[in-house]
Amino acid sequence: MKSNRRSFLRFSALALPLTRINQVFAKSKAVNKPLVVSTWNSGQISNAAAWPVLEKGGKALDAVEQAAIAIENDINCCVGLGGNPDRDGHVTLDACLMDDKFNCGSVAFVEKVKHPISLARKLMETTPHVFLAGEGAQQFAIASGFKLESGKLSPDAEKAYKEWLKKADYKPVINIERQQAHPKGHGPFAPERFEDGSFNHDTMGTIALDASGNLSGMCTTSGMGFKMRGRIGDSPIIGSGLYVDNEVGAATGSGQGEEVIRICGTHTIVELMRNGATPAEACKKAIERIIKINPEKAKTFQVGFIAINKQGEIGAYSIQKGFNYTVTEQGGKGKVINSESYFS
Ligand code: SD4
Protein backbone atom coordinates (compact mmCIF):
# COMPACT_ATOMS: atom_id res chain seq x y z
CA MET A 1 0.00 0.00 0.00
CA LYS A 2 2.76 2.36 1.08
CA SER A 3 4.89 1.63 -1.96
CA ASN A 4 1.87 2.10 -4.23
CA ARG A 5 1.29 5.50 -2.73
CA ARG A 6 4.96 6.38 -3.15
CA SER A 7 4.99 5.35 -6.78
CA PHE A 8 1.71 7.21 -7.36
CA LEU A 9 3.33 10.37 -5.97
CA ARG A 10 6.45 9.81 -8.06
CA PHE A 11 4.41 9.33 -11.24
CA SER A 12 2.17 12.30 -10.57
CA ALA A 13 5.29 14.45 -10.10
CA LEU A 14 6.56 13.22 -13.47
CA ALA A 15 3.25 14.11 -15.00
CA LEU A 16 3.64 17.73 -13.84
CA PRO A 17 5.04 20.07 -16.45
CA LEU A 18 8.63 21.12 -15.70
CA THR A 19 7.58 24.73 -15.08
CA ARG A 20 5.15 23.60 -12.40
CA ILE A 21 7.87 21.53 -10.74
CA ASN A 22 10.16 24.56 -10.81
CA GLN A 23 7.44 26.66 -9.24
CA VAL A 24 6.86 24.08 -6.51
CA PHE A 25 10.56 23.97 -5.65
CA ALA A 26 10.94 27.73 -6.00
CA LYS A 27 8.34 28.29 -3.30
CA SER A 28 10.68 26.86 -0.71
CA LYS A 29 13.45 29.43 -1.45
CA ALA A 30 13.45 33.03 -0.19
CA VAL A 31 12.99 35.40 -3.10
CA ASN A 32 15.68 38.04 -3.60
CA LYS A 33 13.59 41.20 -4.12
CA PRO A 34 13.42 43.99 -4.99
CA LEU A 35 16.21 43.88 -7.50
CA VAL A 36 17.30 45.76 -10.62
CA VAL A 37 19.96 44.77 -13.16
CA SER A 38 21.18 46.84 -16.12
CA THR A 39 23.60 46.25 -18.95
CA TRP A 40 27.05 47.86 -18.71
CA ASN A 41 28.66 49.90 -15.96
CA SER A 42 26.62 52.90 -17.08
CA GLY A 43 23.85 50.82 -15.50
CA GLN A 44 24.85 52.64 -12.33
CA ILE A 45 22.97 55.65 -13.69
CA SER A 46 19.91 53.59 -14.67
CA ASN A 47 19.82 51.58 -11.45
CA ALA A 48 20.20 54.72 -9.30
CA ALA A 49 17.02 56.06 -10.93
CA ALA A 50 15.13 52.75 -10.69
CA TRP A 51 16.03 51.93 -7.10
CA PRO A 52 14.01 54.68 -5.29
CA VAL A 53 10.88 53.38 -7.05
CA LEU A 54 11.58 49.77 -6.03
CA GLU A 55 12.65 50.66 -2.52
CA LYS A 56 9.30 52.36 -1.87
CA GLY A 57 7.47 49.25 -3.01
CA GLY A 58 6.73 50.73 -6.46
CA LYS A 59 6.15 48.80 -9.65
CA ALA A 60 8.95 47.27 -11.69
CA LEU A 61 7.49 48.91 -14.82
CA ASP A 62 7.81 52.40 -13.30
CA ALA A 63 11.31 51.57 -12.12
CA VAL A 64 12.56 50.48 -15.56
CA GLU A 65 10.98 53.53 -17.21
CA GLN A 66 12.85 55.76 -14.74
CA ALA A 67 16.04 53.82 -15.51
CA ALA A 68 15.62 54.57 -19.22
CA ILE A 69 14.74 58.23 -18.72
CA ALA A 70 17.87 58.76 -16.62
CA ILE A 71 20.16 57.22 -19.19
CA GLU A 72 18.42 58.92 -22.13
CA ASN A 73 19.06 62.21 -20.28
CA ASP A 74 22.75 61.55 -19.88
CA ILE A 75 24.63 63.25 -22.69
CA ASN A 76 27.81 61.39 -21.78
CA CYS A 77 26.25 58.00 -22.23
CA CYS A 78 25.53 56.17 -25.33
CA VAL A 79 21.79 56.32 -25.89
CA GLY A 80 19.28 59.11 -26.46
CA LEU A 81 19.61 62.18 -28.68
CA GLY A 82 23.32 62.62 -27.91
CA GLY A 83 24.17 59.11 -29.15
CA ASN A 84 25.95 58.03 -32.31
CA PRO A 85 24.15 59.10 -35.49
CA ASP A 86 23.42 56.97 -38.53
CA ARG A 87 25.75 57.22 -41.52
CA ASP A 88 23.80 60.23 -42.85
CA GLY A 89 24.28 62.09 -39.57
CA HIS A 90 20.80 61.62 -38.05
CA VAL A 91 20.27 60.21 -34.56
CA THR A 92 17.44 57.65 -34.74
CA LEU A 93 16.26 55.99 -31.56
CA ASP A 94 14.70 52.62 -30.71
CA ALA A 95 13.16 51.62 -27.38
CA CYS A 96 10.77 49.15 -25.83
CA LEU A 97 9.39 48.06 -22.49
CA MET A 98 7.36 45.11 -21.21
CA ASP A 99 5.44 44.57 -17.98
CA ASP A 100 4.33 41.61 -15.89
CA LYS A 101 1.13 41.03 -17.88
CA PHE A 102 2.62 40.68 -21.38
CA ASN A 103 1.79 44.32 -22.12
CA CYS A 104 4.51 45.73 -24.32
CA GLY A 105 5.29 48.83 -26.34
CA SER A 106 8.05 49.54 -28.86
CA VAL A 107 9.11 52.45 -31.02
CA ALA A 108 11.82 52.40 -33.65
CA PHE A 109 13.59 54.72 -36.08
CA VAL A 110 12.24 57.72 -34.14
CA GLU A 111 13.85 61.13 -34.50
CA LYS A 112 13.79 64.16 -32.19
CA VAL A 113 12.04 62.46 -29.28
CA LYS A 114 14.12 62.75 -26.15
CA HIS A 115 12.49 59.87 -24.29
CA PRO A 116 11.56 57.12 -26.72
CA ILE A 117 10.92 54.87 -23.72
CA SER A 118 8.02 57.06 -22.58
CA LEU A 119 6.69 57.10 -26.14
CA ALA A 120 6.79 53.28 -26.13
CA ARG A 121 4.88 53.28 -22.83
CA LYS A 122 2.32 55.72 -24.22
CA LEU A 123 1.79 53.43 -27.21
CA MET A 124 1.39 50.45 -24.90
CA GLU A 125 -1.09 52.17 -22.61
CA THR A 126 -3.21 54.22 -24.99
CA THR A 127 -3.44 52.24 -28.24
CA PRO A 128 -4.14 48.64 -29.24
CA HIS A 129 -0.68 48.45 -30.90
CA VAL A 130 2.71 47.30 -29.73
CA PHE A 131 5.17 48.62 -32.35
CA LEU A 132 5.34 51.96 -34.17
CA ALA A 133 8.17 53.24 -36.37
CA GLY A 134 9.60 56.29 -38.11
CA GLU A 135 7.45 59.21 -39.16
CA GLY A 136 4.29 57.59 -37.76
CA ALA A 137 5.92 57.24 -34.36
CA GLN A 138 6.93 60.89 -34.49
CA GLN A 139 3.38 61.93 -35.41
CA PHE A 140 2.09 59.87 -32.50
CA ALA A 141 4.60 61.62 -30.23
CA ILE A 142 3.36 65.06 -31.29
CA ALA A 143 -0.28 64.00 -30.92
CA SER A 144 0.51 62.69 -27.44
CA GLY A 145 2.06 65.97 -26.31
CA PHE A 146 5.76 65.08 -26.63
CA LYS A 147 7.94 68.04 -27.65
CA LEU A 148 10.22 67.48 -30.63
CA GLU A 149 13.82 68.38 -29.83
CA SER A 150 16.66 68.69 -32.28
CA GLY A 151 19.05 67.42 -29.66
CA LYS A 152 22.77 67.75 -29.93
CA LEU A 153 25.33 65.07 -30.52
CA SER A 154 27.55 64.62 -27.52
CA PRO A 155 31.02 66.07 -28.28
CA ASP A 156 32.39 62.54 -28.43
CA ALA A 157 29.71 61.26 -30.78
CA GLU A 158 30.33 64.26 -33.03
CA LYS A 159 34.04 63.66 -33.06
CA ALA A 160 33.61 59.96 -33.74
CA TYR A 161 31.20 60.62 -36.60
CA LYS A 162 33.61 63.12 -38.21
CA GLU A 163 36.36 60.56 -37.87
CA TRP A 164 34.18 57.86 -39.40
CA LEU A 165 33.25 60.16 -42.33
CA LYS A 166 36.91 60.34 -43.39
CA LYS A 167 36.67 56.80 -44.70
CA ALA A 168 32.89 56.29 -44.47
CA ASP A 169 33.64 52.58 -44.48
CA TYR A 170 30.31 50.80 -44.03
CA LYS A 171 31.50 47.86 -42.02
CA PRO A 172 29.57 47.83 -38.79
CA VAL A 173 31.58 46.09 -36.12
CA ILE A 174 30.20 46.52 -32.70
CA ASN A 175 31.08 46.22 -29.07
CA ILE A 176 34.53 44.72 -29.12
CA GLU A 177 35.51 46.24 -25.83
CA ARG A 178 38.86 47.84 -25.30
CA GLN A 179 40.53 46.72 -22.18
CA GLN A 180 42.25 50.01 -21.40
CA ALA A 181 40.73 53.22 -20.12
CA HIS A 182 40.28 56.22 -22.37
CA PRO A 183 43.52 58.18 -21.95
CA LYS A 184 41.82 61.55 -21.73
CA GLY A 185 38.99 60.39 -19.51
CA HIS A 186 35.32 61.03 -20.10
CA GLY A 187 33.78 60.94 -16.67
CA PRO A 188 33.06 57.88 -14.64
CA PHE A 189 32.45 55.62 -17.60
CA ALA A 190 35.63 56.47 -19.48
CA PRO A 191 36.68 52.93 -20.32
CA GLU A 192 33.64 52.52 -22.47
CA ARG A 193 34.96 54.81 -25.18
CA PHE A 194 37.38 54.27 -28.01
CA GLU A 195 40.30 56.64 -28.36
CA ASP A 196 38.69 58.43 -31.30
CA GLY A 197 35.80 59.25 -28.98
CA SER A 198 33.37 56.67 -30.27
CA PHE A 199 31.36 54.48 -27.97
CA ASN A 200 31.82 50.81 -27.77
CA HIS A 201 28.17 50.33 -27.05
CA ASP A 202 24.97 52.17 -27.75
CA THR A 203 22.33 50.29 -25.78
CA MET A 204 21.03 50.13 -22.24
CA GLY A 205 18.74 47.37 -21.01
CA THR A 206 17.25 47.12 -17.51
CA ILE A 207 15.26 44.30 -15.89
CA ALA A 208 13.66 44.53 -12.45
CA LEU A 209 11.81 42.43 -9.89
CA ASP A 210 9.70 44.55 -7.54
CA ALA A 211 8.74 44.03 -3.91
CA SER A 212 5.45 42.42 -4.99
CA GLY A 213 7.44 39.84 -6.97
CA ASN A 214 6.53 41.19 -10.42
CA LEU A 215 8.94 41.58 -13.31
CA SER A 216 9.35 44.23 -16.02
CA GLY A 217 12.06 45.37 -18.40
CA MET A 218 13.18 48.01 -20.89
CA CYS A 219 15.72 48.45 -23.64
CA THR A 220 16.70 51.83 -25.18
CA THR A 221 19.28 52.62 -27.84
CA SER A 222 20.58 54.97 -30.51
CA GLY A 223 21.39 51.76 -32.35
CA MET A 224 24.57 50.67 -33.99
CA GLY A 225 26.74 53.74 -34.72
CA PHE A 226 26.84 54.98 -38.35
CA LYS A 227 24.22 52.46 -39.39
CA MET A 228 22.35 52.58 -42.68
CA ARG A 229 19.43 55.01 -42.50
CA GLY A 230 16.33 53.19 -41.33
CA ARG A 231 18.23 50.18 -39.99
CA ILE A 232 16.64 48.74 -36.85
CA GLY A 233 18.42 46.32 -34.54
CA ASP A 234 17.24 43.92 -31.87
CA SER A 235 16.69 46.48 -29.10
CA PRO A 236 13.05 47.49 -29.78
CA ILE A 237 12.01 43.98 -30.86
CA ILE A 238 10.08 42.14 -28.16
CA GLY A 239 11.70 38.72 -27.83
CA SER A 240 15.03 39.87 -29.24
CA GLY A 241 16.32 42.86 -27.25
CA LEU A 242 13.90 42.33 -24.34
CA TYR A 243 11.50 39.73 -23.03
CA VAL A 244 9.56 39.37 -19.80
CA ASP A 245 7.37 36.48 -18.68
CA ASN A 246 6.18 37.11 -15.17
CA GLU A 247 5.85 33.37 -14.46
CA VAL A 248 9.48 32.75 -15.31
CA GLY A 249 11.93 35.63 -15.70
CA ALA A 250 13.21 38.52 -17.81
CA ALA A 251 16.16 39.10 -20.11
CA THR A 252 17.75 41.90 -22.12
CA GLY A 253 21.02 42.47 -23.90
CA SER A 254 23.40 44.54 -25.92
CA GLY A 255 25.51 43.87 -28.97
CA GLN A 256 25.21 43.20 -32.67
CA GLY A 257 21.44 43.31 -33.11
CA GLU A 258 21.28 41.26 -36.30
CA GLU A 259 22.82 38.27 -34.52
CA VAL A 260 20.39 38.56 -31.59
CA ILE A 261 17.36 38.76 -33.88
CA ARG A 262 18.40 35.52 -35.65
CA ILE A 263 17.88 33.51 -32.45
CA CYS A 264 15.12 35.63 -30.80
CA GLY A 265 17.73 36.07 -28.07
CA THR A 266 15.82 37.14 -24.98
CA HIS A 267 12.76 34.99 -25.67
CA THR A 268 15.10 32.02 -26.04
CA ILE A 269 16.66 32.84 -22.65
CA VAL A 270 13.27 33.05 -20.93
CA GLU A 271 12.20 29.73 -22.49
CA LEU A 272 15.42 28.09 -21.33
CA MET A 273 14.71 29.34 -17.81
CA ARG A 274 11.15 28.02 -18.08
CA ASN A 275 12.65 24.62 -18.77
CA GLY A 276 14.81 24.71 -15.68
CA ALA A 277 17.98 26.63 -16.59
CA THR A 278 19.32 29.22 -14.16
CA PRO A 279 19.62 32.76 -15.58
CA ALA A 280 23.38 32.25 -16.00
CA GLU A 281 22.95 28.91 -17.82
CA ALA A 282 20.23 30.35 -20.04
CA CYS A 283 22.37 33.35 -21.09
CA LYS A 284 25.29 31.03 -21.83
CA LYS A 285 23.18 28.65 -23.93
CA ALA A 286 21.76 31.54 -25.97
CA ILE A 287 25.26 32.90 -26.64
CA GLU A 288 26.45 29.42 -27.66
CA ARG A 289 23.53 29.21 -30.07
CA ILE A 290 24.68 32.44 -31.76
CA ILE A 291 28.27 31.22 -31.93
CA LYS A 292 27.24 27.86 -33.41
CA ILE A 293 25.69 29.60 -36.44
CA ASN A 294 29.11 30.78 -37.56
CA PRO A 295 31.98 30.33 -35.08
CA GLU A 296 34.50 32.23 -37.25
CA LYS A 297 32.24 35.24 -37.68
CA ALA A 298 31.38 35.20 -33.96
CA LYS A 299 35.00 36.14 -33.22
CA THR A 300 34.34 39.53 -34.81
CA PHE A 301 31.38 40.84 -32.85
CA GLN A 302 29.98 41.13 -29.36
CA VAL A 303 26.67 40.13 -27.82
CA GLY A 304 26.05 40.19 -24.07
CA PHE A 305 22.89 39.09 -22.26
CA ILE A 306 21.61 39.60 -18.71
CA ALA A 307 18.72 37.71 -17.11
CA ILE A 308 16.85 37.38 -13.83
CA ASN A 309 14.27 34.83 -12.72
CA LYS A 310 11.24 34.97 -10.46
CA GLN A 311 13.37 34.03 -7.46
CA GLY A 312 15.67 37.02 -8.02
CA GLU A 313 18.60 34.96 -9.28
CA ILE A 314 20.83 36.84 -11.73
CA GLY A 315 22.92 35.70 -14.69
CA ALA A 316 24.88 37.07 -17.64
CA TYR A 317 27.10 35.85 -20.45
CA SER A 318 28.77 37.38 -23.50
CA ILE A 319 30.69 36.34 -26.59
CA GLN A 320 33.70 38.57 -26.00
CA LYS A 321 35.40 39.60 -22.82
CA GLY A 322 34.56 43.14 -21.65
CA PHE A 323 30.79 42.99 -21.21
CA ASN A 324 29.68 44.07 -17.75
CA TYR A 325 26.45 44.78 -15.91
CA THR A 326 25.23 46.58 -12.80
CA VAL A 327 23.23 44.94 -10.01
CA THR A 328 21.33 46.83 -7.31
CA GLU A 329 19.65 44.85 -4.55
CA GLN A 330 19.15 45.26 -0.78
CA GLY A 331 21.23 48.20 0.40
CA GLY A 332 20.68 50.09 -2.85
CA LYS A 333 24.29 50.41 -3.97
CA GLY A 334 24.96 49.48 -7.61
CA LYS A 335 27.61 46.80 -8.03
CA VAL A 336 29.35 46.44 -11.40
CA ILE A 337 30.13 42.83 -12.34
CA ASN A 338 32.24 41.60 -15.22
CA SER A 339 30.37 39.02 -17.24
CA GLU A 340 31.82 35.64 -18.06
CA SER A 341 32.47 35.26 -21.76
CA TYR A 342 32.95 32.55 -24.40
CA PHE A 343 36.22 33.98 -25.73
CA SER A 344 38.76 35.15 -23.18
C1 SD4 B 1 21.68 47.39 -32.12
N2 SD4 B 1 21.82 46.10 -30.12
O3 SD4 B 1 21.18 48.41 -32.62
C4 SD4 B 1 22.00 47.42 -30.65
C5 SD4 B 1 23.37 47.97 -30.49
C6 SD4 B 1 24.03 47.78 -29.17
O7 SD4 B 1 25.65 48.40 -27.74
O8 SD4 B 1 23.66 46.98 -28.34
N9 SD4 B 1 25.06 48.49 -28.92
O10 SD4 B 1 21.97 46.41 -32.77
Q: Evaluate whether 107 touches 132 at the Cβ level (below 8 Å).
A: yes
Q: Which of 39-43, 190-194, 258-262 has the highest mean pLDDT?
A: 258-262
User: In angstroms, what is the span from residue 39 Cα to ligand 1's centroid?
Assistant: 11
Q: Are 329 and 316 in contact (CB under 8 A)?
A: no
For residue 251 and ligand 1, the question of a CB distance below 6 A is answered with: no
Instruction: Please state, in angstroms and rounded to a whole number, the distance separating the CA atoms of residues 260 and 233.
Output: 9
pLDDT band at 139 (very low <50, low <70, confident <90, very high): very high
Ligand 1 atom nearest the C-alpha of 256 is 10
Which atom in ligand 1 lies closest to the alpha carbon of residue 254? 8
Higher per-residue pLDDT: 172 or 63? 63
- Give the mean pLDDT of 258-287: 98
Among 92, 203, 266, 328, the active-site one is 203
- Which residue type is seen at 317? Y
> Looking at ligand 1, which residue's alpha carbon is closest to its atom 3?
223
**pLDDT bucket at 74, cuts 50 / 70 / 90:** confident
- Quick one: CA dihedral 321, 326, 329, 332, positive or negative? positive
The residue to mutate among 93, 96, 174, 229, having the most atoms of ligand 1 within 8 angstroms of its beta carbon, is 174
Active site residue 92: no
Whether 14 has a pLDDT exceeding 80, the answer reads no
> Distance between the two ends of the chain, CA-based, in angstroms?
57
Looking at every residue in the chain, the average pLDDT score rounds to 86
Q: Is 255 in the pocket of ligand 1 (CB under 6 A)?
A: yes
Q: What are phi and psi of 263, to 5 degrees?
A: -115, 15
pLDDT of residue 174: 52
Q: What one-letter code names the amino acid at 86?
A: D
Distance CA 48, CA 215 (A): 18
Closest alpha carbon to 51 in 63, 65, 69, 37: 63
Domains and CATH numbers, the chain: 21-343 (3.60.20.30)
pLDDT of residue 164: 80
235 lines ligand 1 (CB under 6 A): yes
Ligand 1 contact via 254 beta carbon (within 6 Å)? yes
C-alpha pair distances (Å), 315 with each of 39, 120, 336, 340: 11, 26, 13, 10
Strand 314-318: give its sheet, edge to edge. 242-245, 249-255, 303-309, 314-318
| pLDDT for 20 | 54
| 202, burial (CB in 10 Å: exposed 0-12, middle 13-18, buried 19+) | buried
pLDDT in tens, 78-114: 788 988 889 899 999 999 999 999 999 999 999 999 9
pLDDT tens figures, 185-233: 222 333 344 444 444 578 999 999 999 999 999 999 999 888 899 999 9
Ranges of H-type helices in 1-151: 2-15, 18-26, 43-55, 60-73, 116-126, 134-143
